[in-house]
Every structure is written in C-alpha cells, then in structure tokens.
Amino acid sequence: MVILGLEMTPLIFWGWFFLIFYIGLMLTFGFIGMGRVENSDDFATARRGYGPVFLAFAMTATAASGATFLGLPALAYTAGLSSLWYAFVYPLGVYIGVLVCLVAIRRAGDTFGSRSMPEYLGDRFDSDALRLMAASFSMLLLFYLAGQLLAGAVMFFNFLGLEAFSALLVTAAILMFYVALGGAHADILTDGVQGALMLLLAVFVLYMFLSGFGVEGGFPAIIQRLHEIDPALTTVLHEENPLFNSWWDVVAIFCAHLPLGLLPHIGNKLWALKSNKDQSRFIILSFTFGLLLPAITCGGILARVLLGDSLLAEGSNPNNAIPALFIATLPTWVAALIGAGVLSAVMSTADGLVVSSAQIFANDIYRRTIAPRSKAKNDPELIDHTALKISRIATVVVLIGAIGIAWGTRDMNIALLVWIGVGGMMAATAAPLFLGIFWRRSTRAGALGSFFVGGLVFSLLKSASIDAAWFAGGPLHQAAIWLEAQAINPFACATLGSGAGIITMVVVSLLSKPLDEAHLKRVFGS
C-alpha cells in the first residue's frame, strides 16, 4: 500500500503510529510548560520548579543524546569491546563534574539571578566581556544540536521511510513547536518522561547483549564470533582505533567530560531543583541513572555479530547499528516502539540545547547587554516581555542554523560530530568554571586569558594545524609528532585545551589584580 508517496510496510505503519502518539505527548507537555511560564526567567531556567527524582530523570536524558543512542553503538560496531571504555567512563566524568560544581552554580543563581552558564561566568568574574565571549563561543553547540537533528533523521529514515532531508525537517519541526511554547519547563517535563523511557530501553538492550539475543550459543558465542570477525574487536584497547588505542585515551575521555555537566543545556537544569536539601538525592539518582544508560552501547557490539560487516559497505552507515539491530531481531511493532524510545534520546538533548542557545540572544545579548543601554532600561516589565519574545523567535533561528550544519555533515559519525562543538566549548570554559568555583584568587584577566588559550589550543589540535616537520631535528620533535596524532581524537584535544587553559589562568591570575573583596563575598557567601 502507498500512502502520500510512502510504501506503507508494517514497520513504517507502526513507526507513524508511535510517532503521532509521541508528537501528541510532546505538544501536550509544551502546552503544560507554557502554562507555567510567567516571565522570561521561567522560560530560561524553570527556577526551583522540580523535585530531585523527576529532575534526575531529566538530567539523565539531557546528558545522554543521539550520540549516546546512535553514535556510541556505531563506535562499538566498528571498534568492538574497547569502545565500552567510552560508554562507561564518560558518565563518571559528567556527574563528578556536576557534583563538584552544583552548590556553587545554584548559589550564584540565587545571588545574581543567573539564567545561563555564560551569564554565570560573567557574574562570577564581574565581566561583561567574558560573558559575551562565552555566549559567542556557545554557538559552537550548534554542532551538538546538529548531531541530535541528524540522529533524529536517522531514526525517521529507518522507521518512517522518509528521505533524509524530510526526516531532518520533521525532527526540527517537532522540537520547534514544543520548545517555543514552554521553554525550560517544556524541556524538563519532556526530558523527565524521556529519561525514564531511555533507561528502560538501555536495560532491554543490556539484556539482549548479556543473553546473546538472536545468537546461537548466547553471550559466549558473541565474544567468539567477534574474534572470528576481527581479533581486534575483542581486545581491551584497539591499536588501530585512535579513540581507544592507549590508556591515555581512556584518561582523556574522563577528563574531557568533567566540564560536560556544566555546558549550558545541562548546567541550566541545576537551577530548576526545588530545594537545596534535595541536592544529595539528586546527585545519587543522576549518577545511578547516568551509569546505566550507556549500556545501549552494547547493542552496537551485538549488531556487529548479527549483521556482520553489512553497515561498513558502500552506501551504509554504522550510525544505523541500533535501528538495524531492532529491525532484524524484534517483531515489527516492538522495533517501531523502541525506535520511538531512541528518538526520545535525541529530543531530550536537542530541546535543552535549543533553550540554552536561544538564551544567548534573549538573555546574554539583549537583557544583559542591549537593554541596560536602551530606553527600556527603567522598565523591567518591558525588558522581560521583550526577552521572552526574543527567546521564542531565537528558537526558530537556532534550529534553522542547526539544520544547515546537520545537512552539511550528514555522513559523519554522530558522536564525533557532537564533539566538534562540545570539545571547543569545554576547552575554553573548563578553567573559568572549575578554578572560578574553588579559587578565590582567580581573576578576570586570568579567566579571559584561559578562555582564549583553551579554545585556541583545541582549535589548533583538532584542525591538525601543528606540523611535526616544523620541529624536525629539535628536542620537541617527538612531542610534536604526538600532538599531531591527537587531531583525530576530540577527547584528547579537549583535555589538552583544558589543561592549557588551567595553566594560563593560574599564571595570569597570580600576575593580575584580584577582584574586589565585596564582590568575592557575594560570590562565595563569606
């Protein structure tokens, strides 16, 4: 049967069935969120609006993404067991970072009314320049958002039969409607439900892997079959894969993810926690959920065993490992239902990214920079109304930009695409965030210097701008060879960029004038 130009196979029928249900659910949450938005601060932060359990589900969903549910299994499909280092080390980095910074970030929000992570940095160091630099640099997160749109397009292609560009537009349209309606409230409401669904999906995939689902001989046969395909797929480290070929790479994965929980779309959720007394419970739950969720990676290994090298062939893509696994092993309606679960992972990160990116325009540029210098400066109600309007318009603008990036990078591994933006952002902000929280002596000049150096080092390394031949015959030649080799590994580039930023911030802070003591007392509470 052909309907609206689509061959209505059972898979496509059930895919559309669950999609329509999913869209209805998301729009419902969008309208509920809109009812809770009374001002621009509600739209931006949903400040003190949610309890620890629901917010932990939302945080888990946001910290995961299409990269987790499609990109990581794709890496597992190509690299085998060594890819599990990424899956289970990165959440440790994310949630340790959140644990370390939670109290300080919430205190700043209460003291200064911060609505975004760039605004927090500006308030901490009493610097409009740093706030605007961080806001501008945050636009790199459009690559992160593009990765989510691309992941959504992959799911729509596999389960709905849509061609690639149409699938991309459908993904963006769903996001645009419910985020523009409810802002941070819609983001958290949808993410809480999506997080619970994603955890159920991760548990199911882990069961499939450990039970050897679809493989005669069960789990032991999976390992045996992997070894037969390629012995490197069963090694602890993969010598031919630049992401997992040494213990340095494992350390880099951990270090690179420490600031991830403070990226705008995740860090903003810390202000939504209803009460300070719930902080410990929130962190414990987030840790537990966050460590369980990457079990989805095991699905990529199972897919390699069941599907062989088919996704490495011309015209195929390992990003399809999870949907291909479900389609090959499960009843049609179950595969479509689980496909909707994977889609929820995509949307749960994308909606937070859209909200936080929109705040660059509404909050960091308009409310904090333009409004105080305009005729509206003495009219807080007008400023708030305008900021809310800009937030909703910026939602559309951000999504249009992300669509363009996603289409231009559609053949990249989703997990690595995400890190083009994430790595640069974290390299630039790691030092101001962490040292700014724990070291009173850190200065405005130190923060600005570290921001510039951290971002620059990441850019130079990731773009392979360092040529070891420049240092041939000199004492730095071997070091230059090693640095040159890191270009393909975004985690290493981010870690080295962050390290350079930290060193810069310490040196410059010690050589520059401390911040005013009265301001420091507002920041640190004493």
- What confidence tens digit (pLDDT) does each residue in 28-46 have? 887 888 888 888 878 877 8
At 496, is the pLDDT very low, low, confident or very high (cuts 50, 70, 90)?
very high
Token pair in block for residue 327 = 């389609």
Residues 407-420, mean pLDDT to the nearest whole number: 72
Segment holding 3, helix H or strand E: strand 2-3
Residue-wise pLDDT tens digits, 120-145: 888 999 998 888 888 887 787 788 78
CA angle in degrees (0–180, nearest 5) for 458-461-462: 80
Three-state SS for 109-140 is: HHHHCCCCHHHHHHHHCCCHHHHHHHHHHHHH
Q: What is the pLDDT, as a whole number, of residue 4?
A: 42
Backbone angles phi, psi at 306, to 5 degrees: -80, -35
At 265, is the secondary structure helix, strand, or coil? Answer: helix
Inter-CA distances, 302 with 211, 389, 427, Å: 10, 47, 34
Across 343-357, 371-385, 449-463, the highest mean pLDDT is recorded for: 449-463
At 2, is the secondary structure helix, strand, or coil? Answer: strand
Give residues with Cβ within 8 angstroms of 473, minimum separation 6: none
Contact in structure between 41 and 115 (CB atoms under 8 Å): yes
CA 281 to chain centre: 23
Numbers of helices and strands, H then E, in the chain: 23, 2
Residues 454-463, mean pLDDT to the nearest whole number: 90
Cα–Cα distance measured from residue 132 to residue 256, given in angstroms and rounded to the nearest whole number = 23
Considering the chain, what is the average pLDDT of its residues? 84
Cα–Cα distance measured from residue 208 to residue 191, given in angstroms and rounded to the nearest whole number = 25
Cα–Cα distance measured from residue 48 to residue 270, given in angstroms and rounded to the nearest whole number = 9
Which amino acid is residue 101, in one-letter code? C
At 94, is the pLDDT very low, low, confident or very high (cuts 50, 70, 90)?
confident
Q: What is the pTM of this model?
A: 0.80
What is the sign, positive or negative, of the torsion defined by CA atoms of 43, 44, 46, 47?
Answer: negative
Give residues with Cβ within 8 angstroms of 446, minimum separation 6: 435, 504, 505, 506, 507, 508, 509, 512
Which amino acid is residue 49, in one-letter code? G
Backbone angles phi, psi at 3, to 5 degrees: -130, 125
Q: What is the pLDDT, as a whole number, of residue 441?
A: 93
Residue-wise pLDDT tens digits, 229-246: 999 999 988 888 878 888
At 345, is the pLDDT very low, low, confident or very high (cuts 50, 70, 90)?
low
Token pair in block for residue 287 = 């840790």
At 480, is the pLDDT very low, low, confident or very high (cuts 50, 70, 90)?
confident
Backbone angles phi, psi at 131, to 5 degrees: -60, -45
End-to-end CA distance of the chain: 71
Q: Using the predicted structure, report yes or no on whether residue 219 has a pLDDT greater than 80.
A: yes
Segment holding 28, helix H or strand E: helix 10-36
Residues 290-306, mean pLDDT to the nearest whole number: 90
Three-state SS for 177-223 is: HHHHHHHHHHHHHHHHHHHHHHHHHHHHHHHHHHCCCCCCCHHHHHH
* Ordered domains of the chain (ranges, CATH): 2-407 (1.20.1730.10)
At 1, is the pLDDT very low, low, confident or very high (cuts 50, 70, 90)?
very low
Token pair in block for residue 502 = 């930290």
Angle, in degrees to the nearest 10, between helices 247-257 and 84-112: 20
At 447, is the pLDDT very low, low, confident or very high (cuts 50, 70, 90)?
very high
Q: Which of 499, 516, 518, 517 is nearest to 507 (CA)?
A: 499
Q: Using the predicted structure, report yes or no on whether residue 503 has a pLDDT greater than 90.
A: yes
In which residue are the tokens 């959920």 written? 289
Q: What is the pLDDT, as a whole number, of residue 3?
A: 45
Which amino acid is residue 19, in one-letter code? L
In which residue are the tokens 């409607």 written? 177
Contact in structure between 259 and 434 (CB atoms under 8 Å): yes
Cα–Cα distance measured from residue 377 to residue 371, given in angstroms and rounded to the nearest whole number = 6
